[in-house]
Amino acid sequence: MATATTASNSQTTNGSSGPQKWVYAFNEVSQAEAAVGGRWDAVRSLLGGKGANLADMTRLDVPVPPGFTVTTEACNAYLSNNSTFPEGLWDQVLAAMQQVETLTDKKFGDTDNPLLVSVRSGAKFSMPGMMDTVLNLGLNDVSAQAMINLTQNPRFVYDIYRRLIQMFGTVVLGIEDEVFEDYLTEVKKNKGVTSDVALDADDWQRVTEEFKKRFAQAVGHEFPQDPSEQLRLAIEAVFKSWNGRRAIDYRNAAGIAHDLGTAVNIVTMVFGNMGENSGTGVAFTRNPSNGDRELFGDYLANAQGEDVVAGIRTPIPIERMKDENPEVFAQFMDITNKLERHYREMQDVEFTVERGRLWMLQTRDGKRTARAAIHIAVDLAEEGLITREEAVLRVKPEHVTQILHRQFDPEAKTRASNNGDLIAHGVNASPGAAVGVAVFDADLAETWGKSGRDVIMVRPETKPDDVHGMLSSRGILTSRGGATSHAAVVARQFGVPCVCGAESLEIDLYARELHVGDTIVREGDLLSIDGTLGEVFVGELPTIEPDFERETYLRKLLGWADAYRRLDVYANADYPNDARRARSYGAQGIGLCRTEHMFFQEERLPIMQAMILAEPGSEAEQKELDRLLPFQQDDFYGILKAMEGLPVIIRLLDPPLHEFMPDHEQLALRAAGLRLMGDRPNEITRIEDLMHAVETLKEFNPMLGLRGARLGLTRPAISRMQVRAIFEAACQLKEEGVDIHPEIMVAVTNVAAEVKALRELIDEVGREVMTRRGTTITYKVGTMIELPRAAITANQMAEFSDFFSFGTNDLTQTTFGISRDDAEGKFLLHYVEHGILPENPFQVLDREGVGFLVKTGVERGRSTRPNLEVGICGEHGGDASSIAFCHEANLNYVSCSPFRVPVARLAAAHASLNEAKAQQN
């Protein structure tokens, strides 16, 4: 027997004095439960998911090969003690091996009836293929001959011996797999075969001998003949694999903590490669792709487990096993049904049939697609295996996101990535998949889009006057900006997939092409963008189109979710079509109707620019506003009617006026061109007037400049026109018998006096319209809280406000003191990657800073007005973590883009149900 070096550790799992128990046999699950207080989740933490379930199956009398588990605590102790076994571990492993020998009537390393084992990893959370496994441990030259004598099957024995040498060499000692695979390929080629099955006993004996030689050449010593030494080294290899690169990368991607450690499961080997009455397979108790209630999996006769997983041979569908071995198949179905009922979840199982006897090697909750996750959760609830509350909690908000946005075919994406067609990564600004031809300006995007061509609009960044092109595009790609940039906000609003901040792209607007390394994409070339993952591909990838009305299971689940949530879910929508879409997705109102986008439409923008150029308070200004009034009235009529019976919060004009004006540099170039031609002097004069106005309106920091309430008070005629349009539309609808609930919101407020002054203006115009028309409208006036001072003085703001809406995009900017577009492109992602910030605060609400201001604003506002309605309308309104915070902060509603409404409905239900669970505990 080998001797393992140990390190001192006398603390037990349950905190009592005495030797630490590092090892639990599969029939000791009750002891493991007692050690951790009876909580199954804690058992999984101690034994890992695989070990816990193997022990649990043993307790259920499911046929599991005898074995034991080395705990995750042992792994962490080993890794923290300079790769040294903790005190007592090796002795406990040897004692457990003796128990397995008794149960199997075999001996580890015996020359007559040898016991062989597998050594497998098993963390608390499933990490398929990320850590190490070694099969057939215990074989050496002597025991191999004993196995031949016992089985009279030398082909089988040399097959498993060569597998052990190869797996031990690659997994435990780090030998390159090609050292073995190249020779095996050569053997098959020389024999004129392509499959391992075609090799006979003599072939496998030669392969085994050659593998031993190559092993020794690679590591400088012979393959270890001592089975205990094999076992010790294999356990160490599994421990070390917890910190392997692929395991770390997987945990990072899956959000799994790095301090959990992995358990090690030592299991008696059973063999599926002992003839045609043997085999191995992997199966799911339900279809993991679509969720249908049907057995789904693969089976291979005369094979070991890795043959299925590695794709060495082509398996057959699991249901064919029914024809080949009906008795075993019937037993298998009984067991899988039992396991699914026991765990109340779809199971992923591994099994082996050895000479007609079935052995279960693993069960775990099966991985599945988003669609399958929803389907299975609903079915399990309707079958009575779980409650509706559990079904709602089992479906993640990201599952809903994946279902409701266009998606690329996963297999096509994999092929494209392997072919080098994945050319850039950026911020996953707006989810979904889009394919179209590259276009480098908004006008052409609109022209081509309206003509029926699918367009990807490519810009360094987008501006408000690009909206027409954005609305005509299938997708948007920028090299600058982040998740809350203009492109991202508008894209999410209209459900357009968007990748922002792909900084590796060099966009040449004059040459109308982009460069990434040696790749050039010219205008008209095809691009495919994945807004869910922030990926950019050249060429066309096939997509899958979602349809909410056809998502029967999702709609049913969301109906259940609605019964549990306290938060209402509103939508941000600027046009009637968006409002109707939001309503069809379950929105209970419009939390933000942005009026600025309405002025960028082709027939309105010149009028808006003429109004801006006019002297404030002049007849010229009023003339242009009178021309805009019917447009605005029609806008509000449409959106109020679309949301009949539900509240609609309309925000008065927010952005600075320069955003409605042409770019100064472009105007200068046009004027210079006209002067060179000596043509159209009147046009030159008009352009020069525009240039002067643009220069006058220019601000060093427009985000903190003349906008929102400041603009409404310094140019009150604009506010009066907008308010009049709202009341005229509302009165008209009420006269038509439509139930309307308009709410008017002022933005960028800093002091209560601003709110007071604008409320007086709103009330004055409202009284005038209602008196003239003889119609009374019930309406509300509220304040958008997006500056820290407004939150701090919310008790004063509430004197003149019926509701608050936190604009968390700007509140995040002003709290952190950063520009969102600059920050995400320059340093914010670096901060997140290096742990300076836990998450991007423009995607997940910052609870310590911004959240503190939100809670302060809510508490102080309600101290003045106890029934004050409060919500958020920033991008955080569609983020699950931020929604949970809003629930904790006692907000009344969240508002998000229409396509995020189903996500918000589910996340709000999760917040309520998780709160109830926490209170019960």
Please say whether the beta carbons of 212 and 163 come within 8 A. Answer: no
Active-site position among 75, 500, 593, 873: 873
**Residue of 270, 261, 256 whose CA lies nearest to 242:** 261
Closest CA to 904 of 397, 370, 393: 397
Cα separation of 400 and 392, whole Å?
11
What is the secondary structure of 685-737 as a DSSP string? Answer: HHHHHHHHHHHHH--SSGGGSS-THHHHHHSHHHHHHHHHHHHHHHHHHHHTT
Q: Which residues share a beta bridge with 506?
A: 515
Three-class secondary structure of residue 347 per DSSP: strand
Collect all residues with Cβ–Cβ distance below 8 Å to 888 and sequence separation of at least 6. 911, 915
Alpha carbons 689 and 706: distance in angstroms, whole number: 21
8 A C-beta contact, residue 726 and residue 765:
no
3-state percent helix, strand, coil for the chain, nearest multiple of 5: 50, 15, 30
Angle in degrees, 0-180, between the axes of helices 552-562 and 397-404, rounded to the nearest 10 = 140
The 10 Å Cβ neighbour count of residue 187 is 16
Burial class for 747, CB neighbours closer than 10 Å (0-12, 13-18, 19+)? buried
Which residue stretches of 273-396 are H helix?
305-310, 321-324, 326-343, 370-382, 388-394
Spatial separation of the C-alpha atoms in residues 814 and 165, rounded to whole Å:
62
Give the whole-angstrom CA distance, residue 213 versus residue 366.
41
- Is position 886 annotated as part of the catalytic site? no
Alpha-carbon span 671 to 751, nearest angstrom: 43
The rounded distance, in Å, linking the Cα atoms of 760 and 737 is 28
Round to whole Å and give the CA distance between 1 and 175.
Answer: 25
Q: Round to the nearest angstrom and report the end-to-end CA distance of the chain.
A: 49
CA dihedral 885, 889, 893, 899 (to 10 degrees): -10
22: region left, alpha or beta (phi > 0 left; psi from -120 to 50 alpha) = alpha
- Is residue 896 part of the annotated active site? The answer reads no
Reading across the β-sheet that carries 506-508, which strands appear in turn?
506-508, 513-516, 519-522
Instruction: Please say whether the beta carbons of 48 and 262 come within 8 A.
Output: yes
Distance CA 477, CA 465 (A): 16
Contact 626, 618 (CB under 8 A): no
- Segment holding 421, helix H or strand E: none
Rounded CA gap, 802 and 886, in Å? 19
**Which residue in the list 486, 658, 741, 887 is annotated as catalytic?**
486
For strands 475-478 and 455-459, give the pairing.
parallel
| Residue with the two structure tokens 């899958």 | 544
Q: What are phi and psi of 655, to 5 degrees?
A: -75, 160
Catalytic residues: 486, 873
